[in-house]
A and B are shown apart, each in its own frame.
Chain A
Amino acid sequence: MKFIKAIVFIFIQAACFGQSTATVSFSLYLADIATIAVAPANSTINLVGTASSGTGNTLTFTSNNNLWINFTSQVSSGNLRNITAQITSGSLPSGTSLKLTITGPSGTGAGTPGNIVSPQTLSNSQPQQIIVTGIGNAFTATGVNNGYNIKLELDITDFSLLKSGNTSISITFTIT
């Protein structure tokens, strides 16, 4: 008889304190990201050629390593990105080429920042040159001293073609 009592008690409890449910489907979509910037922003770099003292000595140019590449990359599983550099406006002075030396990454970024392909030489009418490859999900942090450092040097390839004067070029960095 105790058994029957227990059954009825359970029946009452179940009927009175029954359960109802409602389900919501949650979806978070993280799209791909490929953004890049040079720090400091809108920088103008001057590479100045100076003749060494003394007859017969060569011309030397100043170099510059003030620029940093910052980027954020988010990719699908198995995909990787590259960073390329290209002269996109203006022309290098005749008889010169531009050497890019990439170092780093430095700073407080995280993830898979890729591998350096360096140094690279840029010249007029040259296609994009890969300077960093194998970038996965990563960010470099922002501003100078974060990301990849860029050192720019102007090399003389043919002294006989050099002429005095000022030349402006633009270099475009692209993450793809």
Chain B
Amino acid sequence: MKRLLSIFFFFSVAIDTFSQCTMFTPTISLGSNSISASPTFLGNRIGSDRTPELTINSGTLTISIANANTCSNWEVSVVRDNTINTDLRLYVIRTSEGIGAPESSIEAASLANYVEITTLPQIFMRGVNNRSSIQISYKITGISVNMDVSRYLSNITFSIIGTP
């Protein structure tokens, strides 16, 4: 009986300690849920291949992190499905630190480095507490006239997880 009571006490303390955490899970939202690109072929490139690389920048390409006040450390990973043409390679980069409370932060290392979006989750950025309007941009490589005329699609999923 004493052992049971002591275990109950332990659980109570543990749950109380993490009670703020248990109520919140960090959440991630995107400024835009669709990205569409249709590169033009300029007349001065007659005889040439398409420009192989395309960068997509837009004010609406943002990530916001919420509910991270308690479980303050978080980590965002990115992954894509396997529907897109294998010649195309997708990348994402964080181009701003976003907006957050003074105690919030975002890992500097994820600036200036493109992360390739593959079918395996890749760590994209880490931070502490809530951040909003974190600007991102995408890059596509491998574009060529040797690909058929078509619309190439993929779903890109960002996941956030609270970390110790």
Which positions in B face A, CB cutoff 8 Å?
3, 7, 11, 14-15, 18, 21-22, 25-30, 32-39, 41, 43, 45-50, 54, 63, 67, 71, 80, 84, 88, 90, 138, 140, 143-164
Contact = CB atoms under 8 A, between A and B. Distances in A.
Interface stretch (A45-53, A96-104, A142-150, A159-167): A142-150
Contacts of B138: 26
Interface stretch (A17-25, A58-66, A116-124, A126-134): A17-25
Contacts of A12: 14-15, 18, 21-22
The binding surface of chain A is classed by DSSP as strand
Contact of B47 (A30, A31, A76, A142): A142
Nearest to B84: A26
A20 B160 CA distance: 5
Contact of A16 (B47, B140, B149, B162): B162
A30 B67 CA distance: 40
A25 B164 CA distance: 31
A30 B46 contact: no
Contacts of B39: 28, 30
